[in-house]
Amino acid sequence: MKSKRLFQRYAWGLCLLVTGLCGVSLHAQASDRAAEPRLTIALLKYRGGGDWYANPTSLSGLIRFCNGAAPFQLRGDYATVEVGSPDLFNYPFVHMTGHGNVVFSEAEAENLRRYLTGGGFLHIDDNYGLDAFVRREMKKVFPEQEFVPVPLTHPIFNQVFDYSRRGLPKVHEHDNKAPQAFALLHEGRIVCFYTYECDLGDGWEDGSVHGDSEAIRREALEMGCNILTYAFYY
């Protein structure tokens, strides 16, 4: 059974060092990456009636893209993990999406807080209609914090691909608002990155699902790759 202890981002850095990732260029050859160990990312399952499963092909698409473009390797099959499960600590990156209600119990909120302050990373992508519920429930996780805007100068926008000028891509229109990036921080590091009016997850899905252009899908995947790279290296 996998360890349920809190992992620290420094431990992940040590793992990368031991396996030869430390010092490897972001443009490492595919043959070098093929020998590297693969990390597993996860989709967050939550209660409340919201469709946490909304984009079934999105993480698979992101994994395929990152395994060809990023300085790390991911397992091809992502996991599904519940907010309150001790298995949450097995995954350095967890993705959350949906359109509707979200409810965290006190125990679930505490579990998620321990995960995030212990080195974990949560990406929340509003698939339209999630905003009010995410803000309410993440306040249970970090009562002392509010989501803060992430400036384009932040390193998360310029990890593998440079989005420091254009910012988040706009995949779907929704309310025709500009896409926005928000964050919750712990000790100066983003531990929860929230993409709003952006719909990155739809852009990660198979092209036949939404009919988005290749250019839009490419932008969404590139920004997703930046987020994952920040989560693993910062």
Burial 123-138 (b: 16+ CB within 10 A, else e): bbbbbbebeebbbebb
Q: What DSSP letter does each residue of 132-194 carry, written as one string?
A: HHHHHHHHHH-TT---EEPPTTSGGGBSSSB-TTT-S-----TTTPPPEEEEEEETTEEEEEE
pLDDT tens track of the chain, all 234 residues?
A: 233 333 444 344 334 333 333 333 444 444 454 555 689 999 999 999 999 999 999 999 999 999 999 999 999 999 999 999 999 999 999 999 999 999 999 999 999 999 999 999 999 999 999 999 999 999 999 999 999 999 999 999 999 999 999 999 999 887 889 999 999 999 999 999 999 999 999 999 987 777 789 999 999 999 999 999 999 998
**Model pTM?**
0.86
By C-alpha distance, which of 56, 49, 97, 98 is closest to 77?
Answer: 56
Q: In which element (H, E) is residue 38 found? A: strand 38-39
Sign of CA dihedral 206, 91, 193, 43: positive
CATH (residue range 9-233): 3.40.50.12140
Residue 234: CA count within 13 A, CB half-sphere: 21
Q: Please tell me the distance from the alpha carbon of residue 180 to that of residue 170, in angstroms, as a whole number.
A: 9
